[in-house]
Every structure is written in structure tokens, then in C-alpha cells.
Chains A and B, each alone.
Chain A
């Protein structure tokens, strides 16, 4: 039986093109590295130790993220508590910040004599602590999304037959696989983070790559190390993603059924609220307090504001461009695969695997090309547009997940009604589909903007000469500038992210008020 839903060939061509664009930036490094020899060996004792540290780091981050994010995600979805919306929205904050920011905060606290009783995160354990807290939102929101797919009647039935214990058991069973996948992804993403390991003195593979690239200027060595790390990551991530493909595809899709309304419980509501608050205090408030200490001692807000104003335009261009590119590609993919669950799963697996790859993979490859081409091609290989494109493609999976969920809320009967009435596809897209997807488009745009701002590696390696984004500016002045200036810059950056997150949390509500 044939369902006449447009041009199937066109949609597969579009999906294929987007996937080629997504994979494209990783190709140059593979080609260039395989054809070039380095004078230094790759597999040294130091690198072996770095691999061990990195794997230990990834495992620790996954466990911590799951241990905190999973139970909190369940409680926050099932139970009602005061200020739930704000508390849930702000759980995303740690994920959106570059890891060096809380690390600087914790280091400042450790340096204060009157706070010597506080535990001092340091070494690889310190990295697990900071990066684990940063990965908590992944497990938390994955659990939250999976739990929201349970219908009100399923939970009512569980409550009727076995009370709250039964509700928690049912929800935990339904959400655990997705939460485990998300926590593993969090651990894998932390393998490519150089901020925390650099500050806490943990020699990870990403630190080795950065050293080879920026201190030794050995592109070939950096490339080979990067490919080795990518190989490790793919070996870990591919089986996990393939095994959980169906679960992921269905968890991403919003249901058309009546969702469960959170209920109030005299103990569990309090536990949920206290837990979320505690995570925010440890993950954000305490390190922010640490950032405030040098500012209180030596306020350099004016100098920091000057630095911020100098880097604001490039930051907005890099991140805004990345956001637009990611959202456009994500919308195309989401609309094209919305009705095909197998295709949706496959696209998700490919995109999440790409997200797990180290950001240096694309950045080093493109920067190597940039050094080899004539100067007149700099506009193509070393421009603001290049940074935006690579960042946009890197965070395409994040936008794709948001857009896939939003596209899942489009009723198939709207499209049927349009066909019965002869509404053309572009007209339907402009008049019905895009306005309906509006909140998701804005949220994914803001998310990609914040995430790409926090991606130091890509921006640092690709930004054109004389142009710097704010996070990269903080990263580069961090070691040799007054603490007051670094902390002031960090605080201003944090403020911008909080404002963007607040906007992202409020916009869907404002939009739905406008459309109702």
C-alpha cells in the first residue's frame, strides 16, 4: 500500500547530503595524517599513561553522571515541587559551560586559606568530579525525556496496584537504558575535554594532542594522536549506540498520548527539590563563589567588560553562525526522517557517534589545510565562516535531537488535511510546520550557540588571526593575567549563559501563549 507523502528520493538525497556535510570535516585529518610521517613516535609511555588516565576519566564521569542524573531525572518528572521549571531548566547550565570555568572557581576556593577545610579537587579525581557534574544534565534530561514518554494511565495503573514504589520501579525500568546511554555519552564526551585536565594537572590524551599541536608544532603527531583517540572513542561508542539505537530513537520522539502530570508526594517531592538544588549548589553556586573571591579582592570589571566588548562580535558571529547552520541542517534531517523509525535511529547513531569524536579531529584537519593553501584561499579556510561551519556541524547532533522531538509532535493528519485541500508543501512548511516548530528552533539555536561558545578547541585552532571569541580569550589569558581579570571575565561569561538559558526556558511558553 502506497502512502503518497512527497518525493522519497529527494528526502533521502537531503539526508545523505546532511550526513556528508556532518562527516566531511573529519576527512581532511584522516587523509593528511595517513600520508605524512612524524619524527616522534606516537605510542610512548607518556601517551599510554594518558590513554589510561583518559579511559579512567571517561568511566568515572559516566558513573557519577548516572548516579546523580538518573534518580534526579525520575523524581523531577514524576513529582511536583516548588520552582520546578526553573530548577529543571538550570540543570542544563553545567553542560553549557566550558569545563575550565568551574575548575578556576574550585582552584580559587582551594587557594583561600579560610576555606582550607573544603575538599580540593585535583588531578584526575578532580577532573572526574568537575566533568562528572557537567555530564549530570545528560543523564538527567535523557531520563526526564524517557519518563515523559510514559503515559498518565500507565503511571496511574502502577500507582493503583503498588503505590509509589511501583511507580518508581516502572519508571526506572523504562528509563534506565536511555539514562545509561546518555551517561556513557557524557563519559565519552569528557575524553575530548582539555580544560579541566589542564587546570587540575591530569595528563589526558586531549592534553597530549594540544601539547603536540601548540607547543611542539608537530601537526603530524597531533593528527596521529587525535586519530588514535577517535579510534578509541568509536570503539567504545559504536557498540553502545548500535545496541541502544531503537531505545534512543523512541526516547527522542515525543508521544501524542496524554502525558503524566507530576503529583505531590510529602517525601519524594522534597527529595527531588533538595537534590536538584544540591546539584546546582555544588556544580554552579560554589564554583561561582570561587570566581567571585578574586573579584572581591581585586575588582577588574571595567577591564573585563572592555575585553568582553572586544570579543562580543566574533563570539556572536561564530556561535550565531554555528547555531543557524546546525538548526537548518537539523530541521532538514528531522523532517526527512520523521516518519521512518529505522532511518531516525540510524541518523541518530551516526550523529551521536560524530558528536563523541574529539573536536580537534575536524579542527586540526581544517587548520592543516589552511596552512597549505595560498593566502587568497584564507577566506575559505581561515575565516569566521569556517569556524561557524565547523562548530555548526559539530553540534548538529544536539540540534537534531531537539528538532526530531519537535517534529514528532507534528500530527500526520495535518499533512493529510493539507493534501486533501491542495496546500503545496512550501506553503504548508511556511504557514504551519515552521511556526509549530518555532520554539524548538529557538531553543536549539540558543543551545548550539552556548555549546559552541564553550568549545575552546575548535575555535582556538580555527579562528582567523586577530579575531578571538570570549571563551578563547579567557582560556588564553588564564595562565598569565591577574586572577581578578580572569575571574571577572568568567563571571561575565557565566552571566551571558544564564541569560541565554533563561530565554531558552521562557521562549516556548511565550510562543505557546502567542499561538493559543
Chain B
């Protein structure tokens, strides 16, 4: 397993509040990490720092062992990091069609027209929305919009997919279908993913590793079984209980 993302000593402050504090965090290729934490604990900030949308005041981010950002400096721009992101509100551009959204998402790759068309078709077919190519996001259901956002993200063939609580507005059945689709695509395309969530159902469907964020640091990290066996944090304990895994520590 190669190391895909490595964060060292990240420190971020929003106004007077310390969001991340000397945080170390790693993701290896193909790994699926669920990032847990209470509201305002810095989960989304960590994703944004990894994506290159923000820079930490201290510390550094390495992508595939290359220094990507360091203490306020952005060394590799977001679209050169091999990272795609599913935003909380999906961030679909409303005036473009589904195909237009995917096409504009490929801007950073400088593909030829032909290559671009191929990628769009592949991505839409992969997500099962080939027939929606000419529709605009406003005319689609929540589940279809999720798939459009997913197709846009996967069209760039990312090594890492960041999911920032994107399933909030979906009903149970649609959410289950989308989760299964992402899990299947992950198996086929072998990308790593970091999922920010509060939902045990989403973790069960996608992730094998849990990382609990507390006080701006990773309080504990490990497989579901490992955390169930020896939970160090209240949130970790509650979460494995909600997952239906037996907690051996008795915490």
C-alpha cells in the first residue's frame, strides 16, 4: 500500500477558535476512511485542506509524497492533486446540463474533444445516468443529482475521493442505492476515499477504517473491530455501538 495523503502537524484557527491542532493524518491508496467528529470539530476543514481549497497556518500536506501545501502556501493546486470531492450541497452548476457539468469538470485535464466526450460517456454510464445527459440538475431527483455529482467526480479518475456529508438529503432507499453504487465503483476503479459523516449506515456501506476527530486532533483511528475492542473516545464508543458491533472494552 502506498501512502497517498500525509498531513503533518496541521494547525488551523478560525477567528479565535482552534479548528485543527498539530494534527497528523494519513490515507493509503485504496483505503476508505470515515472521519467522525462532533459538529465544528474540523472534519470539513481537514477535507478542504487536503483538497487544497484552504491552507493550514502551520504544518504540511503531502500528496503521493510530494509536498502539496505548507504553512499558508499552496504548492500544488487542487486540480493537480488527483483528488475529487462530493460537496454537502453537491455543488452542481445549475445552468449546465448533466453532460455540461461533467465536461466543465474535466477542464483541468486539458483533454482533446474526443477524449473528453469519451470520458463523459464513460462516467455517465458508470453511474447509470447516460440517459440524463441533456437534462439540467434542477429537473432531477435527489438520487439522480447525487449520481451526477459522482459522475463529475469520477470522470477525472481521481486517486482519492472526498465525501463531505453528501447524502444528507436522501431517503433511506435512495441513499442505500447510491452507497452501493459508490462501493461498487470503488472496487472497480480502486480509489481511496475519506467520508465525513455522522451516519453509521453510510460507514457500514463504505468504510473499513474509522478516524475520530476530537479537540482538533485524531483522537483514535483504526478498523471498526479495533475501535470496538478498545475505544478511546466517547464518540468512538457510541459509534461502534450504533454500528451494531460488540464493544469489548465495556466503555
Contact = CB atoms under 8 A, between A and B. Distances in A.
B80 interface: yes
Contact of A422 (B13, B45, B80, B139): B80
Given A411-B89, A420-B51, A421-B152, A515 B107 contact: no
A413 B87 CA distance: 7
Nearest to A435: B95
B77 interface: yes
A516 B139 CA distance: 6
Contacts of A217: none
Contacts of A419: 52-53, 77-79
16 contacts: A2-B54, A2-B72, A2-B74, A411-B91, A413-B89, A417-B85, A419-B79, A421-B104, A422-B79, A422-B109, A431-B100, A431-B104, A432-B93, A432-B95, A436-B95, A516-B139
B244 interface: no
Interface string B1-41: 00000000000111000010000000000000000000000
A422 B51 CA distance: 12
Contact of B107 (A1, A413, A421): A421
Given A417-B85, A432-B96, A515-B136, A422 B53 contact: no
A416 B79 contact: no
Contacts of A43: none
B139 to A, nearest CB: 6
Interface residues of B, number: 43
Given A427-B107, A436-B95, A420 B56 contact: no
B194 interface: no
B80 to A, nearest CB: 7
Given A420-B85, A421-B79, A3 B53 contact: yes
Contacts of B12: 1
Interface string A171-192: 0000000000000000000000
Contacts of A411: 89, 91
Nearest to A514: B95
Interface of A is mostly: helix
A424 interface: yes
Contacts of B45: 1
A424 B104 contact: no
10 pairs of A and B residues whose beta carbons are closest in the complex: A422-B108, A422-B79, A413-B91, A417-B91, A435-B95, A421-B105, A516-B138, A423-B107, A413-B87, A2-B55
A4 interface: yes
Contact of A420 (B57, B74, B79, B94): B79
Most buried by B among A4, A417, A516: A417
B146 to A, nearest CB: 14
